[in-house]
Amino acid sequence: MVGLTEANLRALAGARSFERGLGYLDAVSGVEVGDAWVTATVHGTERYEVELALNGPGGVAGECDCPYGLEGNFCKHLVALGLTVLARRESLPRQRKAARDRAQDLDAWLSDLSREELLALVRDQIAEDRQLRRRLELRVASARGDLAGVRTRVRELLDIGPFAQYGYVEYADARAYSDQAGQAVSAIRALTGSGRAADAMILAREAMRLLAEAVESVDDSDGWLGHVAAALVEAHHAACRSARPDPEELARWLVGHVLGDMDDLTGIDPLDYADVLGDRGMTVLRNLAVEAWRGNRTGWAEKYLMERLAKAGGDVEAVIAVHAADLAPDGRTHLVIARELDAAGRPDQGLRWAERGIRDVRDPAAVDTALVDHLCDRYAQADRLADAVALRRDHFDALRTLLTYRQLRAAARAADCWPAEREGALALLRADAGRRLESGRGDSVLVDALLDDKDVDAAWRAATETGAHERQWLTLADQTRADRPSDALGVYLRLAESLTQQTGDAVYGRLVSLLLSIGECHHRLGTSDEFTAYITALRTAQRRKRNLMRLMDEHGL
């Protein structure tokens, strides 16, 4: 049991998964100990099969068929099993010896059986285990070179029929279907291993099509079929490496696949096949990609393929051409181009594309914020502070939000011109606040901006003159009650009155917080008797709200 310690489990899993694993100790069942492994079932969101390898070449390792474990992570279920094993460490040596003895006894017994007895044993297992029968049938078909037989079995394995109700595989059955589909991948790999790589390549392509059709009718919320698809792609690639198909034919198939509907499932990257395609195949691939893109410059798949090939070839001009052919109206594509040029060591051109992005946007309020940020950063780096301020001013003028106000303030302070810019920005916000007052809206960016500037007196005046949201009034009261307790008290009382008409624990929590602030104001004003009378009247009026009464009691109200 070298290497299996609590510290090592924590190191393998990480602190978060280790802590979560502590909560699954009671969910471990069916622990089975082998000579170098321990298996169990852990009941989490689903029923997961877990295996710990003890004393392996790299120390302790584990596998779990939960989604997180299938990604190669040492999950919380493995932690739970590891801790369960550690809790039984005293009996583990005896159990491992017993497992070795059983394995030796079984091997000796099998060795003593005659050929007829072994055949009878296998036939019995085949009759009882349908999955074993299917796997062996596939091996037979592969060994005999029966491509038609293997194809038939692969189609059966990918058929959702046995798992579907009303033509759809529900979440509860998706795992079982994916396990069966995985057997098709194993069969294709076996074909390659038996020297029939060309057949494996053909079957892998057909299996991708069948799986893509099947996934439309499966609730694959946990992504099991995604793992099967990834394994299928690996099997196809391995078959291609062995079969060495015609590079031009492979290039055509790859482009057709990427531009078709199946790619959403398999996610094949044609560049992964460069070792099989060679120079001739890659040339054909590029030509086909260019042809497809020219035929549909706005197609997502066409753009993705062209961009991948262009980047792989270091062709910045081609990358730019792909994006420039379909510029987004908000300028975000201009930003992509600008960043590509920056990365290629061409910052001046990148700057021009970013500036063009700002000019090309018809509606200033719709411009991509990341483009504005990028361009302002570039201006700051070039010591073009006035340009950064102008851009921030235009952005603020278009949106009139607290964020754009803050950004304008930061740029203007860097350029040492904030007082003048602030006056203009506040004039715009005052005009907005006046219109909001006329329309009956109480929220005001003006109040938030003044509060953010720490100009509480101006914020109070603005709230009084043009209105404010309850959140803003509360902030104002909190920030002024030490110096202006009478004004703050009026705000707290008004907000509290509104809450007394509502119910719910969250409301009660807010109300009690207000009551404590009201009490502080009365204390500062020297009117504690008035607060006592207020609380007494409130308790009488609200006595039926038991949770509120309890909460007030807890706070001494």
* DSSP code, position 364: G
Residue reference for tokens 């460490």: 89
Q: Quick one: pLDDT at residue 440?
A: 53
CA atoms within 13 A on the CB side of 367: 30
Q: Write the pLDDT tens digit of every residue in 170-217.
A: 988 888 898 889 888 888 888 888 888 999 999 999 999 999 999 999
Would you state the structure tokens that stand for residue 181, as one six-digit string?
A: 């589909």
Q: Is 417 helix (H, G, I), strand (E, B) or coil?
A: coil
Q: Looking at residue 452, what is its pLDDT?
A: 95
pLDDT at 285: 93
How large is the greatest C-alpha to C-alpha distance in the chain, in angstroms? 104
- Of 246, 133, 144, the C-alpha closest to 196 is 144
Alpha-carbon span 225 to 171, nearest angstrom = 12
Q: In this structure, are residues 130 and 156 in contact, taking their beta carbons and an 8 Å threshold? A: no
Instruction: Kindly state the tokens that stand for 497.
Output: 């009155």
71: pLDDT strictly greater than 80:
no
Gap between the Cα atoms of 339 and 96, Å rounded? 59
pLDDT, tens digit (0-9, with 9 covering 90-100), for 300-317: 889 888 988 988 888 899
Report the distance separating Cα 473 and Cα 442, nearest Å.
10
Separation between Cα atoms, residue 38 and residue 470, nearest integer Å: 61
Q: Any residues with CB less than 8 A from the CB of 450 and at least 6 apart, and which?
A: 426, 456, 458, 459, 462
Q: What is the pLDDT of residues 88-108, one digit of tens each?
A: 888 888 888 888 888 888 889
Rounded CA-CA distance 209/191 in Å is 19
Answer with the residue of higher pLDDT: 292 or 35.
Answer: 292
Helices (H), strands (E): how many in the chain?
Answer: 28, 4
Higher pLDDT, 8 or 241: 241
Q: Please tell me whether residue 40 adopts helix, strand or coil conformation.
A: strand
- Could you give phi then psi for residue 90, rounded to 5 degrees? -65, -35
Mean pLDDT of the 394-406 span:
95
Kindly state the average pLDDT of the residues 121-146: 77
Q: What is the 3-state secondary structure (H, E, C) of 424-464?
A: HHHHHHHHHHHHHHHHCCCCCHHHHHHHHCCCHHHHHHHHH
Q: What is the pTM of this model?
A: 0.64
Cα–Cα distance list, 79 to 23, 42, 52 (Å): 10, 11, 10
Residue 5 in tokens: 């310690």
Pull the structure tokens for residue 43. 């009941």
Question: Which pLDDT does position 340 carry in this prediction?
Answer: 92
Question: To the nearest 10°, the Cα dihedral for 68, 74, 77, 83?
Answer: -170
Q: In whole angstroms, how far apart are CA 488 and each of 453, 460, 466, 468?
A: 20, 10, 18, 14
Structure tokens at 352: 């021009």
> At 226, which helix (H) or strand (E)?
helix 224-243
Q: DSSP letter string over 341-353?
A: HHHTT-HHHHHHH
pLDDT at residue 151 in the model: 87
| Least-confidence region, from 251-265, 351-365, 403-417, 501-515 | 251-265
pLDDT tens digit string along 432-453?
Answer: 887 776 555 556 899 999 999 9
Does residue 196 contact residue 145 with C-beta atoms inside 8 Å? Answer: yes
H/E element, 475 = helix 470-480
Four-residue CA torsion sign, 239, 245, 249, 254: positive
Virtual CA dihedral for 145, 146, 149, 154, nearest 10 degrees?
Answer: 30
Where does 88-196 have alpha helices with state H?
92-112, 115-128, 130-143, 147-158, 171-193
Q: Residue 56 belongs to what H/E stretch?
A: strand 47-56
Of the candidate ranges 276-290, 299-313, 388-402, the one whose mean pLDDT is the lowest: 299-313
Directed axis angle between helix 505-525 and helix 546-554, to 10°?
A: 40
* Confidence check: pLDDT of 2 > 50: no
Per domain, the residue ranges of the chain are 6-112, 384-471, 481-557
Backbone φ, ψ for residue 468 (5° rounding) = -155, 160
Beta bridge partners of 63: 51
In 3-state terms the chain splits into helix, strand, coil percentages (rounded to 5) of 75, 5, 20
The whole-chain average pLDDT of the chain stands at 89
Q: What does the pLDDT read at residue 1?
A: 43
Q: Measured between alpha carbons, how far is 96 from 101 in angstroms, rounded to an integer?
A: 9
In the predicted structure, residue 139 carries a pLDDT above the cut 80? no
CB 268 within 8 A of CB 231: no
Name the region of 86 (left: φ>0; alpha: ψ -120 to 50; beta: rest): alpha
Query: Collapsing DSSP states into helix, strand and coil, what is residue 30?
Result: strand
Residue 292, pLDDT > 60, answer yes
CA distances from 555 to 477, 493, 495 (A): 21, 18, 19
Q: How confident is the model at residue 394 (pLDDT cuts 50, 70, 90)?
A: very high
Contact 46, 66 (CB under 8 A): yes
- In the predicted model, what is the mean pLDDT of residues 394-418? 95
- Report yes or no: 25 and 84 within 8 Å, Cβ to Cβ: yes
Give kind and range of the element (H or E) at residue 32: strand 28-33
